[in-house]
Amino acid sequence: MKVKRISDKELSYVREVLSNSFRSSKGAEFMTRLEHQFCETFETNFSISHVNGTATMHSVLEAAGIGEGDEVIVPPLTMASTSLAVIHANATPIFADVERDTLVISANDIESKITSKTKAIITVSLYGLSPEMDAICSIAKKHNLIVIEDNAQSFLSYYKGKLLGNFGDAASYSFQSSKHISSGEGGMTTTNNEELAIKVRKVTGLGYAALGSKKAKITKADIQNPNYVRHDALGWNYRMPELCCAVALAQVERIEELVEIRKISASYYLEALEGCSWIIPQKVPEHCVSSYWAFACILDTDKVSWEDFYQAFIRNGGLPFYGAWKLTYQEPLFTNKIFGRRNDYIAIDYNDVTCPNAEYVQSRIIAMKTNYWDTDEARKQAKILRKTILEFEERF
């Protein structure tokens, strides 16, 4: 199977945008089409495009009125953007541990971290796998918390037969270059709550009064009137550029093939690991369907160091794979509290934070690429993985 990362459809849509010479009257045409298509594909009522997948989460937090003095529970094992969005909203990230086998945030640990200051939970569907959303949403309901799904790595992932993105109060997606669908940069917030959608739209669009849940742009007739009142809310300029919207639209229209080729790559890696007891793939429960943004495994570093395995794989012709991110609370930004004026109300000493499971798996994770647009290359990489495994087993 071969798939073009960028096809003639993307090129055609981009040419259409350029042919309009960026006239303001055409300024939200592809944005509107993209948002409509995203709603249809992800079975949601409202979609609001953003400049990136960090702004998406910040917008929801601002729209929900979360800020100074509030706490938001997040996982430490993921891209730091999840926690940075909380900092941007002037709130405090509180880290809940992950499950050691699935690598996703633990519902039990979430509940143990809830205080009177907790206002929200941001889940992360890591490497394409959903957390236990039923349990998390039940906890959130009991404590009157909002749930934001960070699905940057999970396009067309399923939990108990239901498309991910339809469990929390809102969901966030990223169109950054490594994601299942991409426009270089960009993102999307989805929700089924129209009041929240309107507020997110205004946060995204400079607080313009006339914006709505499905209205992305004010009209020229409005702004030509000297008596027109423009702003009735505080907002940022988080709107997604029309060129990026054009590319993202084409990618959403092609999403099935763009996701499927990653799942095929993952199936080859699973075959390569058969019988291997010292490299364990991320557990995918039977009630989940992963979209495999990457194929994550846990290496037994008592047998083989991460660096030794990496170098052996490369020597055998493998393409570089990734380790895990440094745990967010271990980054200097957090340990040294480089929060500027936010230090006045973020009272947590992150040097005292510990998430034992996350700390255990972080140095052991191997994240194999799945974004091979030709399955022959993915099969080749899986064979190299198998060869490398057998070489080490001969030494044990």
Residues 215-240 pLDDT 10s: 988 777 777 888 888 999 999 999 99
Q: Residue 384 and residue 272: Cα distance in Å, rounded? A: 9
300-353 pLDDT, tens digit each:
999 999 999 999 999 999 999 999 999 999 999 999 999 999 988 898 999 999
Question: Where residue 25 falls among pLDDT bands split at 50, 70, 90?
Answer: low
Residue type, 164: L
Residue type, 234: L
Q: What is the mean pLDDT of the chain?
A: 96
Mean pLDDT of 285-292: 98
Q: Which one is catalytic: 119, 179, 202, 369?
A: 179
pTM: 0.96
Q: Is residue 141 classed exposed, middle or buried when 0-12, 13-18 and 19+ CB atoms within 10 A define those classes?
A: exposed
The answer to whether 4 is a known catalytic residue is no
Question: Where residue 283 falls among pLDDT bands split at 50, 70, 90?
Answer: very high
Q: Residue 190 and residue 172: Cα distance in Å, rounded? A: 7
**Alpha helix stretches (DSSP H) within the chain:** 8-19, 29-42, 55-63, 81-88, 107-112, 133-143, 194-204, 220-224, 242-253, 255-272, 306-315, 332-335, 356-362, 375-395
User: What does the DSSP 8-state code read for residue 24?
Assistant: G
